[in-house]
Amino acid sequence: MYALDDTHDPALESWVESANRPCNDFPIQNLPFAVFRRAGSAEAPRGAVAIGEQMLDLRVVHELRVLRGSAADALEACTGSTLNAFMAMGAGAWSALRKALSACLRRGSPAASALRAALLDQADAEFVLPAYIGDYTDFYTSIHHATAVGRLFRPDNPLLPNYKWVPVAYHGRASSIRVSEHSFARPMGQILPAGGVEPVVGPSARLDYELEVGIFIGAGNALGTRVPIERAEEHVFGLCLLNDWSARDIQAWEYQPLGPFLAKNFATTISPWIVTLEALAPFRVPWSRPAGDPQPLPYLDAPQVRARGGIDVQLEVALQTQAMRARHDPPHTIARSSFRHAYWTVAHMVTHHAMNGCNLEPGDLLGSGTQSGPAPEEAGSLLELTAGGRQPLVLPDGDRRTFLLDGDRVVLRGWCERDGAVRIGFGKAAATVLPAAR
């Protein structure tokens, strides 16, 4: 796990003035990575690093030859159309480039005059997926979500006996992952009507979001090898926001015996910016098991995970209906939670995934599963917030939602803050529901 160093210094300021504003997601202490092209252009995508409301075009930075040594080598790996090559270089390269860019972006840096040529507004960018995602695995790490959903689907047996022993997951669909601000069609599928004995085919009427954290794998492991939990985070490049859209009526009919299929493979939304684990170092928190719960098996236990395995990422979900957009009303916050509530940590997910010799590869994406907290208002899905659709959510204009309607736009946000550290953020992951394609 990363130690604090001068890149985390709360006194640091940047010559990019927007990075110094309070409550800004991208101060100099953050420096997350993304891939972009100029909006409306046919340019080849390339890497970028966010700084305030602007960002550095890493291809231009490379052409300026302002970095040297291992940082320059890492920078060159960010000039292509994905970050996979950079991710594969490992933690030493990631840290070297972050430290070099931090030095160049600090107030008073002699590189400032040259780097202004590489600076552009984020509002002028079109973001694409930051990596080629070869595989996507979605976990189920919130015991609060698992219990609440279990009560709806299995009232007599809400939490299955394996949950407290094994980080449960399913293999998702990588091809339908999109970056923030896309639109997608309401999914179709088989649905068993209430009281019916035969399914019907039609559009989902119980479309839901899931408030999740995404974990991008960096350096992988060879097929047939395992990842010790003490070294699991060496394989993690960084975190993003993730919305694993879910069709609850399709899910209820199909999920037994093999789990989610058409209920979840139609769309997944991620934020464009990947916040590195190094940037998150000031926001690590202890991880523990509640009294009376089984302790993790030895391969899932380590002193450093118990001491600093959690990450306090504050999470928020907001809803903007079509009527709200017409009135220019902003999205309305409907729930807040935190990644610190997760029953299994990032290290647990990585180690268990590779426990049988599965080869994780650079750019692979893990989802945390819906991040619900212990309080009702911390629910990470409409399924929980509306008690399975029985208690509609009332919006400020009086409109009601049990599940999502066509035209609804869902916006996820995330940030970290604590006393003695500068707040850093993740930007947003947003998408809009369109009518089902016929």
| Burial tier of 399 (Cβ tally within 10 Å: 0-12, 13-18, 19+) | middle
Largest CA distance in the chain: 73
pTM score, two decimals?
0.97
pLDDT in tens, 231-241: 999 999 999 99
β-strand partners of 190: 201
A 10 A CB-CB count for 195 gives 5
Q: Select which of 8, 62, 144, 145 is catalytic.
A: 145
The DSSP bridge pattern shows strands 177-179 and 400-401 to be: unpaired
- Identify the structural domains of the chain with CATH numbers, from first to last: 6-128 (2.30.30.230), 136-434 (3.90.850.10)
Segments of the chain scoring below 70 in pLDDT: none
**Rounded to whole angstroms, how far apart are CA atoms 33 and 352?**
27
pLDDT of the residue at 386: 96
What residues have CB less than 8 Å from 228, skipping those under 6 apart? 299, 351
Could you give the count of Cα atoms lying within 13 Å of 277 in the half-sphere of its Cβ?
26
A 10 A CB-CB count for 182 gives 12
348 given a catalytic annotation: no
Handedness of CA 387, 391, 392, 398 (dihedral sign): negative
pLDDT in tens, 290-333: 989 999 999 999 999 999 999 999 999 999 999 999 999 999 99
